[in-house]
Amino acid sequence: MKIKMNLELKDEPGTLARAIVPISACGINIVYIIHDREKKQANGSITVQITVEAEEEQIKKMRHSLEKNKIRILSIGEERLIEELTFIMIGHIVDTDIKDTIGRIDETGYAEIVDLELKMPQKKKESSARVTIKAVGKEEVKRCMKIIERMAFKKSITIVYPVEL
C-alpha cells in the first residue's frame, strides 16, 4: 500500500538524509519526496512530505526507526487517488507508443492512468483516445498535465482538456 507522511526536520544540512536512510533500511520503496525549504514552521523547522510503498510490518519498523533518530512524524496515512482528470488525445497515438505515455504517468508514484479508450478510424488517419488520470491531489494533477503536454509536443499530439480546470 501507498503511505503518505509528513516529517518535521530541522533546517540544517544532512537532516533529509537522516530521515531517508532509516526508511530505506527497512526495505521500503520511496515513491516521491516534496521538500520545500521556503515553508518554515514557527519553530524554524521544515516539513517534508514523503510517499512510500510498504507493508504494515515495514511501516511499524520504519516508525520505530524514525523515532530513534529523533525525527517527528507529523502525520501518516494511506494515500488515496482522489483527484480525477479526463482528457482527449488526437494524433498518431499508437505509432508514437501510447505505452510510453501511460508508463510516464504511472511511474510518477502520485498518479495513475485508470481508464483509456482508443478509437482508430482508418490506418492512415489520426486516432483519438480518451484518458482518465487519478492523482493524489490537485497539484499532482497539474504535474501530470505538464508531463502530458511535454510528450504531446514531442509526439505532435493534440490534447483537449476540460473547459473548467
Q: How many CB atoms lie within 10 A of CB 76?
A: 16
Site string for other proteins, 77-116 (x = CB under 8 A): ---------xxx-xx-------------------------
164 in contact with other proteins (CB under 8 A): yes
User: What is the widest separation between alpha-carbon atoms in the chain?
Assistant: 63
User: What is the rounded distance in angstroms from the CA atom of residue 18 to the CA atom of residue 53?
Assistant: 19
**54, 129, 135, 141: which one binds other proteins (CB under 8 A):** 129
C-alpha cell at 87: 482528457
Size of residue set near other proteins by CB under 8 A: 21
Q: Kindly report the backbone phi and psi dihedral angles of residue 85, in degrees, each rounded to the nearest multiple of 5, phi listed first.
A: -140, 125
Using CA atoms, how far apart are residues 85 and 95, in angstroms rounded to an integer? 24
* 68 interacts with other proteins by CB under 8 A: no
As measured in angstroms, the least distance from the Cβ of 90 to other proteins is 5
Which residues contact other proteins by CB under 8 A?
A: 86-88, 90-91, 117, 119-121, 125-130, 158, 160-164
